[in-house]
Amino acid sequence: MHRILCLLVFPAVVHGQTAQETVERKLEFATGQFQTTDEGDFVVATPYVKSHAGVTGSPFWATDVWCNAEVLYKGEMHQVPELKYDCANDLMVIPRYTEEGVIYLNLIPVFYSEIFIYIKHTGNLRGKVASGSAAKREHFIFYPATKDERSDGTPPGYYHYLIEKPVSLLCKYSSSIVDHNGRKAFEEDEEKFYLQEDGTLSRIRRVGSFLDAFPQWKDKINTFVEENKINTMVLLNSGDNEKLIEFINTLSPQ
């Protein structure tokens, strides 16, 4: 019996050690190759080592398909053939193909103030972008946020432009891992909306957010809200935010 137990246990121990050594070797390789602050290379990145094992769903925004993208780095636009946005961890992820295999990297956010993701509307969407036949160029910015902005509900991170005008509408995505009776799954959190004017972001919650931001147009905004039957008591949805932003832009000097 003792002999049988040894035969059963020993391979498991060896296999576990070998797997651990493999993980450590790959991580050491990735760190040595890519954890860099060399600004001469537009890919300034660190290893992406997030594990999704045992979790259903996806942490990625809009699609699980790798998308073509452009990144703005030091005033120049660079092509990135494959990129995904991990909105669960607020990271822009790219693959690098090496002799060791595929290494996944996350672009260091402070170096990439603007990213344009080309979303292909092929049925792989997760409800974030309207369907269509052609690729759509989606604009993201990395916003650092001041201490005061953070305390007011505007965290640093990547924001997606829904409307780009003198007064813009942006959205912040996130998702969390939720446990359903022992089964873990990614679930999208409630979208948060922000208006941008003169480069500054402020959180939009209810109609009152617009009244606070534009007190000079209080009467006009209230009239517009009443005529469009926008509920002043609840959090604004994407459609109502877009209506209000478009209306504000008709009042703003162009």
Residue 245's pLDDT is: 97
Residue 31's pLDDT is: 52
Give buried/exposed letters for 9-35 (b at 16+ CB in 10 A, else e).
eeeeeeeeeeeeeeeeebeebbeeebe
Residue 1's pLDDT is: 34
> Strand, helix or coil at 172?
strand
Residue 123's pLDDT is: 46
* Mean pLDDT in order along the chain per 10 residues (254 residues): 30 45 58 49 86 89 91 91 95 88 91 92 48 78 93 93 96 92 89 94 95 96 96 93 96 70
- In contact, 121 and 129? CB cutoff 8 Å: yes
Residue 160's pLDDT is: 97
Predicted model pTM: 0.79
Q: So where are the chain's domains?
A: 45-204
Give ∠ CA 137-91-148 in degrees, rounded to 5.
Answer: 100
Q: How far apart, in whole angstroms, are the C-alpha atoms of residue 201 and residue 211?
A: 15
